[in-house]
Chain A
Amino acid sequence: MTAYILRRLLYVLPIALGVTVLVFSLVHLAPGDPLNAVVAPDAPKEVVEQLKRDYGFDKPLPVQYFIWLGRTLTGDLGTSVATGRSVTEALRAAVPNTLVLAAGASLLGFTLGCLFGGIAGYYQGTWIDKLSTAIAITGVSIPHYWLGIVLVIVFAVELNTLPAMGMGPGGSSAWAWDIEHMKHLVLPVVTLSVIPMGIVTRTMRAAMAEILSQEFVQTLRAKGLRSYQVLAHVVKNAAPTVLAVLGLQLGYLMGGSILVETVFSWPGTGFLLNDAIFRRDIPLLQGTILVLAMFFVVLNLMVDILQSAIDPRMART
Chain B
Amino acid sequence: MLPIARRRARARGLTGALLSAALAITAPGAVHAQGTLRLGMTAADIPVSFGQPDNGFEGFRYMGLMVYDALVNWDLTAVDRPSGLVPGLAESWAPNPDDATKWTFKLRQGVKFHDGSEFNADAVLFNFDKLFKQDAPQYSARQASLVNFRIPAVKSWRKVDDHTVEFTLHAADSFFPYQICYIVMASPAAWEQTGKDWNEFAKTPSGTGPWRLTKLVPRERAEFEPFKEHWDKTRVPKLDKVITFPIPDPNARTNALLSGQVDWIEAPAPDAIPRIKQQGFDIVSNQYPHVWPYHLSFIEGSIWNDERVRKAANLAIDRDGIVQLLGGYAVPAKGHVSPGDAWWGNPSFDIKYDPEAAKKLMAEAGYGPSKPAKTKILISASGSGQMLPLAMNEYIQQNLKEVGIEVEFEVMEWQSLLDRWRAGSKSPDSAGGHAINVSYTTQDPYSSFTRFLRSDLHAPNGVNWGYYSNPEMDEMLKNASLAKTDAERDEWLGKVHTKEVNEALFIWVVHDVAPRAMSKKVKGFAQARNWFQSLTPVYMEQ
Contact = CB atoms under 8 A, between A and B. Distances in A.
B144 interface: yes
Given A40-B149, A169-B25, A152 B422 contact: no
B202 interface: yes
A152 B261 CA distance: 12
Nearest to B142: A84
Contacts of A215: none
Contacts of B401: none
Contact of A263 (B249, B415, B422): B249
Interface stretch (B217-225, B323-331, B485-493, B515-523): B217-225
A221 interface: no
Interface string A138-159: 0000000000010011001101
B60 to A, nearest CB: 12
B221 A171 contact: yes
A24 interface: no
Nearest to A262: B249
Interface in B448-491: 451, 460, 462-463
Contacts of B22: 160-162, 183
Given A41-B463, A156-B259, A275-B44, A33 B419 contact: yes
Nearest to A90: B218
Contacts of B243: 170-171
Contacts of A45: 460
Contacts of B427: none
A61 interface: no
Contact of B218 (A35, A41, A54, A83): A83
B528 interface: no
Interface in B20-62: 21-22, 25-26, 31, 38, 44-45, 48, 50, 54
B252 A265 contact: yes
- Counting chain A CB atoms within 10 Å of each CB, which of B134, B220, B221, B247 scores highest? B220
Contacts of B280: none
Interface residues of B, number: 56
Contacts of A163: 259, 261
Contacts of A42: 149, 422, 451, 462-463
B260 interface: yes
Contacts of B141: 47, 50-51, 54
B288 to A, nearest CB: 20
B259 A152 contact: yes
A263 B460 contact: no
Interface in B135-149: 141-142, 144-149
B416 interface: yes
Contacts, number: 166
Contacts of B218: 83, 85, 90, 93
B392 interface: no
A173 B217 contact: yes
Contacts of A31: 416
- Counting chain A CB atoms within 10 Å of each CB, which of B198, B218, B463 scores highest? B218
Contacts of A35: 145
A125 B38 CA distance: 54
B358 to A, nearest CB: 32
A274 interface: yes
Interface in B211-268: 217-221, 243, 245-249, 251-252, 255-256, 258-261
Contacts of B147: 40
Contacts of A173: 217, 220-221
A54 B141 CA distance: 8
Nearest to A93: B218
Contacts of A183: 18, 21-22
Contacts of A32: 415-416, 419
B437 to A, nearest CB: 15
Interface string B252-290: 100110111100000000000000000000000000000
B220 to A, nearest CB: 5
Nearest to A45: B460
B219 A272 contact: yes
Contacts of B246: 265
Contact of B260 (A82, A85, A160): A160
A43 B451 CA distance: 12
Contacts of A152: 252, 255, 259
B145 A38 contact: yes
B96 interface: no
Contacts of A181: none
B506 interface: no
Q: Nearest 8 pairs between A and B by C-beta?
A: A156-B259, A39-B145, A161-B18, A164-B259, A42-B149, A164-B255, A50-B141, A275-B44
19 contacts: A32-B415, A33-B419, A35-B145, A36-B419, A37-B415, A38-B142, A42-B451, A47-B145, A50-B144, A54-B141, A83-B54, A159-B15, A159-B19, A161-B15, A161-B19, A171-B245, A263-B252, A265-B245, A271-B44
Interface of A: 31-33, 35-48, 50-51, 54, 79, 82-85, 90, 93-94, 149, 152-153, 156-157, 159-166, 169-171, 173, 179-180, 183, 262-265, 267, 271-272, 274-275, 278-280
Given A84-B199, A85-B218, A171-B243, 17 more contacts: A32-B419, A37-B415, A40-B149, A47-B148, A50-B134, A82-B48, A94-B219, A157-B259, A170-B243, A171-B220, A173-B217, A262-B249, A265-B247, A265-B252, A274-B44, A275-B219, A279-B44
